[in-house]
Amino acid sequence: MTKDRDVEIGYLLYLEAVVSIVLYRLAIETIPFGWLVRNMEGGEPSGYEECAVGDSVEEDTIYRVSGAVSAISNRFPPISTCLAESLTASRMLGRRGYDGCVVMGVRKDGEKMSAHSWSICKGVVVTGGEQMGRYRAVAIFSWRGR
């Protein structure tokens, strides 16, 4: 999350976040990635400009979802990955009518490559923002709210 906010999250949002992270973590390990992306709400490859630039509106729902996903990932690090968090946030926000993007980036540290994923909604970085500046975006997938 790019901005500190005091918002009430609520237990149902936490529950939705934990169930989604667990399910996406299992799906990442067992289902081909292409299928996961195609089954996002929209799931279409798009340009980074579409995602990074937005209204930057202060929507409490976006910050509440971000807070819930972040809290669950901090409490259960073994089950949480940046990709599971990004997909979870996209699903949760898409169900609430918000459009956005999941961005995948890579970087090279000497001989080693590493990857990171983050999600953006209405110009707000929802998940993965702390590390996104160190990665170059190589794939962007949009989701459409219902």
Q: How confident is the model at residue 1 (pLDDT cuts 50, 70, 90)?
A: very low
pLDDT surpasses 70 at 54:
no
Structure pTM? Answer: 0.83
- Residue pair 107/66 in contact by the 8 Å Cβ criterion: no
Place of tokens 């979802």: 65
DSSP 2: -
Domain assignments of the chain as residue spans, ordered by start: 11-143
Q: Which long-range contacts (CB under 8 A, 24 or more apart) does 118-122 make?
A: 118/82, 118/86, 119/85, 119/86, 119/89, 119/90, 119/93, 120/51, 120/52, 120/54, 121/54, 121/62, 121/89, 121/93, 122/54, 122/55, 122/56, 122/57, 122/59, 122/62, 122/98
Segment 25-39, tens digit of pLDDT: 999 999 998 887 776
Q: What is the pLDDT of residue 2?
A: 41
What average pLDDT is seen over the chain? Answer: 83
Q: What is the pLDDT of residue 13?
A: 92
- Compare 117 and 42 and report the one with higher pLDDT: 117
Q: 112-121 and 42-45: which strand pairing?
A: unpaired
